[in-house]
Amino acid sequence: MDNQTKWTELLNQAVMEPGLILRAYSAFHGYSLSNQVAALIQCQQRGIEAGPINTYPGWQKLNRQVRKGEKAIWLCMPLTRKIKDKEGDKDQTVISTFVWKPFWFVLSQTNGEPVAMPEIPAWSKERALEALGIQEVAFAETNGNVQGYARKREIAISPIAAMPHKTLFHELAHIELSHTLESDFSDSEITPRNLREVEAEAVAMLLCESLELQGSEYARGYIQYWLKGDVIPEKSAMKIFGAADRILKAGQQGKGDPVAE
């Protein structure tokens, strides 16, 4: 990994290697999905046991020391800048670009005091819908082949959907990827249908595998069908990881939240 690493490469590895996302999420769930994949790939390449990850000073605060000769893990960091809002009376922080930096080490690269393993937070559909401002409405499609649909900021899932979680994630992705707003855009801005389906299904695959839910294998085939031998563009890969992160974090149990059943 270095500053030349592309989001497309990370996503392609996730699509092509079943189980990679689940292993990455289990080990590095406190980080973005793209960084989870990047960290796991580096651990695999170096023969390092995946586990909790921290910076050099972060491990020192936990009374652990990075062993001599250990090479840092590269993760992607956003660079931000301040801009004035439309009224000009407030500064807004926006991401200007992303850079890869070698600042992190996994637990197996350190020695010292034992550390508690972070718990993987539970995920709730109701929590996610509320946090994202999306409403689930009654399914009203008469075509028996339709599993679900999204309109503006509403989703509907067929009561007989074969894989309801995957369908839910797919429709949420259409909204978070702004596909449901594209009818308002100029023709040049509209994402082609095959790419919209690839983007939404890739989000569904990332989420199904992270949460160990049925549907990731079907999603891989669906993605390849719509790609028709092409590759996912870099811009789309960035959008896919971003949408999956937002949906995942929106539904996770936060501090002080009741434990999900």
* pLDDT greater at residue 97 or residue 161: 161
Note down the domain range covering 74.
7-112
The pLDDT of residue 259 is above 60: no
Residue 78 confidence (pLDDT): 81
Residue 24 has pLDDT above 80, yes or no: yes
Number of domains in the chain: 2
pLDDT for 93 equals 64
Q: Which residue, chain included where needed, has tokens 């034992």?
A: 114
Show the tokens assigned to 44: 């695999």
**Token pair 């709730």: residue:** 124
Q: Which pLDDT score is estimated for 88?
A: 61
Is there a single domain that holds both residue 162 and residue 141? yes
Q: If pLDDT is split at 50, 70 and 90, which confidence band does 43 have? A: very high
In this structure, the answer to whether residues 72 and 136 fall within a common structural domain is no
- 44 vs 143, more confident: 44
Domain boundary among 112, 146, 178: 112
| Phi, psi (rounded to 5 degrees) for 212 | 55, 50
Question: Contact at 8 Å (CB) between 237 and 6?
Answer: yes
Q: Are residues 141 and 84 in the same domain?
A: no
What 8-state DSSP symbol labels residue 234? H
Residue 49 within a domain: yes
- pLDDT given at position 80: 75
Q: Where residue 185 falls among pLDDT bands split at 50, 70, 90?
A: very low
**Is 29 within 8 Å of 121 (Cβ atoms)?**
yes
What percentage of the chain has pLDDT greater than the value 90? 66
* Torsional sign, CA 162, 163, 166, 168: positive
pLDDT tens by residue, 207-225: 999 999 999 999 999 998 8
| 261 has a pLDDT exceeding 70 | no
Supply the pTM of this predicted model.
Answer: 0.86
- Decide which of 112, 143, 173 is a domain's last residue: 112
User: Per-residue pLDDT tens for 113-131?
Assistant: 999 888 888 999 999 999 9
